[in-house]
Amino acid sequence: MSFDFGLIAASAPDILRGVGVTLLVWVVCAALGLALGFGIAVARAYGGRLVNAVLFVPVEVIRGTPFLVQVFLLYYGGPFIGLSLDNLPAGVLALSIYAAAYYSELWRGGFAAIPKGHLEAADCVGMSSVQTMTRIILPEMTTLVLPAMVNMTILMLKETAILSIISVPELTLTVSALGTQNYAFVESFTVLALIYWALVETCGALGRLAERRLAKYRFA
């Protein structure tokens, strides 16, 4: 047996389309998850005990159950509550909600880590709430949580593979079909692993670059 490079070369257009769908889903879900997670974190940090208690339950349920189960429940169980979605929108919604639960905890930890003295100093010099948020809280908090955010974003990239179970035409589904059709499982899954590795390394490198750029906001 030998590695069939010709098969991979012939299937390159299909593989690239799968990479494109994976990147699209990943970027959209990361953006939605970050925004929704930040909103949840702000509500839990400043909304009072009742709001915190109400939001605590869904966050813990999502973090406490496998993503695979969540995808199945949303896609196949959604019609029972009037939520009927095609495979791609269902996958994007499921991964965004999953990411938001984790991102919200990271943001919430960032809020808690800001020294109270910094906030008191901002108040003393007459900063408004918006100025305090944009000039003090967000820069310092982002510096603190960025490494964990990058790790979570990398995890999301890997979780996009699970969307293949509901036939989202992303990279894993495309390459798996290639292996099944041609009985070339070694070739297809080797390429799959290499592509994911390259994407993860790229994300990690961008994260390290962002950390260096934000280092000026780090406090002792």
d(CA 101, CA 41): 9
Q: What is the rounded average pLDDT of the residues 29-37?
A: 96
pLDDT at 219: 57
5-217, what's its fold?
MetI-like fold (1.10.3720)
- Phi-psi region for residue 126, left (φ > 0), alpha (ψ -120 to 50) or beta? left
pLDDT at 9: 82
Name the band, by pLDDT with cuts 50, 70 and 90, for residue 2: low
pTM assigned to the model:
0.88
d(CA 99, CA 156): 7
71, 166 contact by CB (below 8 A):
yes
pLDDT at 36: 96
d(CA 25, CA 74): 17
Give the tens place of pLDDT for each residue, 65-110. Answer: 999 999 999 999 999 988 889 999 999 999 999 999 999 999 988 8
Query: What's CA 121's distance to the chain center, in Å?
Result: 34
